[in-house]
């Protein structure tokens, strides 16, 4: 990734990515220890579990996987002394189109993740944890497994960690090419050795009935790295970097038609979409104009260049007032993008210029969802195939007048009618592309 | 990844399991103290890494090893796109098909790999069984997002992620795998 070889952009603040790109930094434990590694685990082991969870709550860390759920609140669902075994499963099944951050952490700085996980495990009374890594990250499983062995040899994992009496085993579990395994209950089924059909919530909230039907916390790779950073910086300092209720930095992955695509670690709310595209990423390609932005991975609703959003913002006297916000002035945080009718999701920003056909782009995504539906729920299994067939036909110039209406109808009948959020993830692109770019889906449009 | 065996012997895979594979299988099962069934995916990976694909004898052997029914293993092999019931090429080329890579020219790169490998670019290449060149050397297939969207088009060639590929550069890349 060329962009990572550049010095950090002034808008960036590399914390989780601090070492992943430092010249001469290696994934072995000696290098990590030289940089102060595992000091935060020592700090955490001297605290009470409830105090650790409280620090994470105060940091305002939100999950970096896609749902932006407050991490400390999620941890708070686990009752420390309920007598049941508890588990952590780290979600490294990064597969959301447009998202590309986990590989660099896993391959270049695996101990950061292991330390974050060990802190989480101590807080949640966990003694067995799994890191689920998609097998397409061919080198990552070996690198992380070696890092686990090193940490064990130094007493940071295994039995009686640092003499505290706390035990933790971590194992790597490799996926096998299925996007659905990024869904947390699907990931759990996959670790149980089953077809990864998502479980229905309620009752199968992982924090209640997770891995082996025991309370389980599923956290994204980046999220667990942030846990370590919270203890390094202190929750107050950490939360200050973000917006109220959405603390810290996050890795924003920009791809598509910009000059300098790449993953950029930026304080939450620290850039607007315009600054991210035009400043951090060097703008559009020469002679090209912005046409569309998918702001949070392929499942998030598309935004059209030139749009102005009516958003509720805090006015000068603290009252909430409605304000017109142009697309490029929207800040990259969960609340702002939600107010604009889309989501920050995995912060995978896909940028498209005026040379692109929106029908072609949507068809590409439809093929993805048609390939990746697990097939458990009828509306999704059947619907995504029909959606893909229809847009494929339209791309081939064989569309009929009814197609946009039928497409919307099928999408409307998938969303909300499935066990997991894949139904929405597959429907939102269809619904939003049709709504934002109707002229490109009219009959005869190519 | 292990050096893959060639599919020429006609003897069931389960009749020729080497000692080091058995050792690694036993080790993998210990990672799952709560349920042996959890070792299904790791065992399938170890198996496919060694043999290149998973035959019927493998399904039976793994299911017995984990005290399961064969269907419990077969349903994983048919579900997860990574697993194969037929051998792929010795050099396995997985080109990312999804949006960011497609914007950067992923389809043209796929076609260029097909030309360089002597594979019909119109063959179905989005399932479990990719088209293989006549000499068995190469297979080319489309896979979904490889999570390297900022350096597209990308492809996974055996275990190597290759970034920023151009159609012009495709043949040169393959020549390194001869």
Residues A233-268: b if buried by 16+ CB within 10 A, e if exposed: bebeebbebbbeebbbbbbbbbbbbbeebbbbbbbb
* Percent residues over pLDDT 90 in chain B: 88
Residue A178: closest C-alpha in chain B: B80
pLDDT for the residue numbered B6: 46
pLDDT (average), residues B1-16: 66
CB B58 within 8 A of CB B50: no
- Read off the pLDDT band of B125 (50, 70, 90): confident
Domain regions of chain B by residue span: 17-79, 91-175
- B147 contacts in chain A (CB < 8 Å): 94-95, 99-100, 102-103, 134, 136-137
Find residue A70's DSSP bridge partners.
A62
Q: Do A100 and B82 touch (CB under 8 A)?
A: no
* A180-190 per-position pLDDT tens digit: 999 999 999 99
pLDDT for the residue numbered A321: 87
pLDDT at A40 over 90: yes
- Read off the pLDDT band of A208 (50, 70, 90): very high
pLDDT for the residue numbered B148: 97
DSSP A228-251: HHHHHH-HHHHHHTSBTTB-SEEE
Name which of A352, A138, A271 is nearest B157 in CA terms.
A138
Q: Do A195 and B75 touch (CB under 8 A)?
A: yes
DSSP A11-60: T---STTTTTTSTT--SSHHHHHHTTTTHHHHHHHTS-HHHHHHHHHHHT
* A383-415 per-position pLDDT tens digit: 999 999 999 999 999 999 999 999 999 999 999
pLDDT for the residue numbered B126: 85
d(CA B131, CA B72) in angstroms, rounded, equals 28
d(CA A100, CA B108) in angstroms, rounded, equals 22
What is the three-class DSSP state of A89? strand
Name which of A330, A324, A426 is nearest A375 in CA terms.
A426
pLDDT for the residue numbered A20: 82
H or E element in which residue B170 lies: helix B170-175
Residue B44 Cα, gap to closest chain A Cα (Å): 9
- A1 contacts in chain B (CB < 8 Å): 148, 150-151, 163
d(CA A41, CA A224) in angstroms, rounded, equals 13
Q: Where are the beta strands (DSSP E) in A268-373?
A: 290-294, 303-304, 308-314, 320-326, 348-353
CA distances from A108 to A21, A64, A156, B157 (A): 8, 19, 19, 21
Question: Residue A100 is nearest to which of B75, B99, B147, comparing CB atoms?
Answer: B147
**Interface predicted TM-score (ipTM):** 0.95
Residue that has been written with the tokens 């039907």 in this structure: A213
- Read off the pLDDT band of A3 (50, 70, 90): confident
pLDDT (average), residues A341-350: 96
pLDDT (average), residues A198-216: 97
pLDDT for the residue numbered A444: 56
List the single range of A230-234, A431-435, A439-443, B73-77 with lowest mean pLDDT: A439-443
Q: Do A350 and B100 touch (CB under 8 A)?
A: yes
Higher-pLDDT residue of B125 and A362 is A362
pLDDT for the residue numbered A22: 82
Q: Where are the beta strands (DSSP E) in chain B?
A: 91-96, 138-143, 155-157, 160-162
What is the three-class DSSP state of B80? coil
- Segment of A62-66, A77-81, A148-152 carrying the highest mean pLDDT: A148-152
Whether the upstream peptide bond of residue A219 has omega within 30° of 0, thus cis, is no
pLDDT at B128 over 90: no
- Read off the pLDDT band of A319 (50, 70, 90): confident
What's the token pair of residue A412?
């409307």
Whole-number average pLDDT of chain A = 96
Q: Do B83 and A134 touch (CB under 8 A)?
A: no
d(CA A157, CA A173) in angstroms, rounded, equals 17
Name which of A45, A62, A133 is nearest A91 in CA terms.
A133
pLDDT at A216 over 80: yes
* Percent residues over pLDDT 70 in chain A: 99
Instruction: Look at the domain B91-175 and name its fold.
Output: Glutaredoxin (3.40.30)
Handedness of CA A420, A422, A424, A425 (dihedral sign): positive
d(CA A143, CA A148) in angstroms, rounded, equals 9
Cα A394-A401-A382 angle, rounded to 5 deg:
60
pLDDT for the residue numbered B108: 98
Whole-number average pLDDT of chain B = 94
pLDDT for the residue numbered B9: 58
pLDDT (average), residues A124-135: 98
pLDDT for the residue numbered A81: 87
CA distances from A308 to A271, A300, A311, A315, B51 (A): 18, 18, 9, 18, 57
* A222-263 per-position pLDDT tens digit: 999 999 999 999 999 999 999 999 999 999 999 999 999 999
Residue A202 Cα, gap to closest chain B Cα (Å): 24
What's the token pair of residue B56?
């019927």
d(CA A72, CA A201) in angstroms, rounded, equals 20
Handedness of CA A229, A231, A236, A237 (dihedral sign): negative
Whether the upstream peptide bond of residue A203 has omega within 30° of 0, thus cis, is yes
- B34 contacts in chain A (CB < 8 Å): 85, 128, 212
- Read off the pLDDT band of B159 (50, 70, 90): very high
Task: Give the helix ranges, DSSP H, for A324-421.
Answer: 334-339, 358-372, 378-395, 403-412
Phi, psi of B71 (to 5 degrees): -60, -30
pLDDT at A292 over 90: yes
H or E element in which residue A131 lies: strand A126-133
Pairing type for strands A308-314 and A216-220 reads unpaired
- List, in order of start, the domains of chain A with CATH numbers: 2-240 (3.40.50.11540), 249-353 (3.10.20.600), 358-440 (1.20.1440.230)
């Amino acid at each position: 990734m060329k962009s990572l070889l550049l010095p950090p952009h002034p808008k960036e603040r590399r914390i989780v990515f601090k070492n992943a790109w430092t010249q001469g930094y290696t994934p072995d434990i000696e290098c990590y220890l030289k940089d102060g590694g595992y000091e935060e685990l020592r700090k955490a082991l001297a605290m009470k579990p409830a105090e650790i969870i409280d620090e994470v709550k105060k940091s305002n860390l939100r999950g970096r996987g896609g749902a932006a759920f407050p991490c400390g609140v999620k941890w708070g669902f686990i009752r420390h002394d309920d007598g049941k075994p508890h588990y952590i499963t780290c979600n490294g099944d990064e597969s959301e189109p447009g998202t590309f951050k986990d590989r660099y952490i896993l391959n270049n700085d695996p101990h950061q993740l292991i330390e974050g996980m060990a802190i989480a495990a101590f807080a949640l009374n966990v003694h067995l944890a799994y890191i689920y890594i998609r097998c397409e990250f061919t080198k990552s499983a070996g690198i992380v497994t070696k890092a686990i062995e090193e940490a064990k040899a130094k007493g940071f994992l295994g039995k009686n960690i640092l003499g505290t009496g706390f035990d933790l085993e971590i194992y790597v579990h490799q996926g096998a090419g299925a996007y659905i395994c990024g869904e947390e209950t699907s990931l759990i089924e996959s670790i149980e050795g089953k077809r990864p059909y998502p479980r229905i919530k309620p009752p199968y909230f992982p924090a209640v009935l997770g891995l082996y039907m025991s309370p389980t916390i599923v956290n994204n790779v980046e999220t667990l790295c942030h846990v370590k950073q919270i203890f390094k910086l202190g929750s107050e300092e950490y939360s200050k970097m973000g917006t109220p209720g959405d603390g810290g930095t996050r890795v924003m992955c920009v791809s598509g038609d910009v000059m300098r695509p790449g993953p950029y670690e930026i304080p939450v709310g620290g850039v607007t979409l315009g600054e991210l595209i035009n400043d951090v990423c060097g703008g559009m390609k020469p002679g090209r104009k912005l046409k569309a932005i998918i702001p949070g991975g392929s499942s998030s609703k598309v935004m059209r260049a030139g749009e102005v959003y009516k958003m509720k913002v805090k006015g000068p006297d603290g009252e909430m007032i409605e304000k017109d916000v142009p697309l490029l002035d929207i800040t990259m945080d969960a609340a702002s993008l939600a107010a604009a009718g889309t989501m920050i999701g995995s912060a995978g920003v896909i940028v498209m210029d005026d040379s692109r056909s929106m029908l072609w782009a949507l068809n590409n995504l439809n093929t993805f969802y048609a390939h990746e539906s697990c097939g458990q729920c009828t509306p999704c299994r059947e619907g995504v195939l029909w959606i893909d067939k229809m847009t494929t036909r339209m791309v081939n110039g064989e569309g009929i007048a009814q197609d946009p209406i039928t497409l919307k109808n099928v999408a409307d009948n998938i969303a909300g009618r499935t066990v997991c959020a894949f139904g929405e993830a597959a429907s939102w692109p269809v619904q939003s592309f049709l709504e934002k770019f109707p002229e490109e889906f009219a009959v005869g449009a190519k | 990844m292990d050096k893959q065996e060639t599919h020429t012997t006609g003897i069931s895979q389960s009749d020729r399991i080497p000692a080091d594979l058995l050792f690694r299988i036993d080790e993998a099962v210990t990672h799952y103290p709560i349920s042996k069934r959890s070792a299904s995916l790791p065992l399938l990976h170890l198996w496919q890494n060694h043999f290149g694909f998973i035959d019927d004898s493998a399904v039976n052997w793994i299911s017995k090893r984990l005290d399961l029914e064969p269907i419990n293993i077969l349903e994983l092999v048919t579900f997860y796109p990574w697993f194969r019931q037929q051998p792929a090429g010795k050099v396995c080329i997985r080109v990312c098909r999804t949006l960011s890579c497609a914007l950067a020219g992923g389809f043209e790169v796929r076609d260029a790999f097909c030309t360089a490998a002597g594979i019909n670019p119109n063959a179905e290449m989005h399932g479990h069984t990719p088209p293989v060149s006549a000499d068995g050397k190469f297979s080319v297939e489309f896979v979904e997002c490889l999570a390297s969207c900022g350096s597209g088009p990308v492809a996974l060639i055996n275990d190597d992620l290759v970034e920023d590929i151009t159609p012009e550069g495709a043949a040169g890349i393959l020549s390194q795998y001869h």
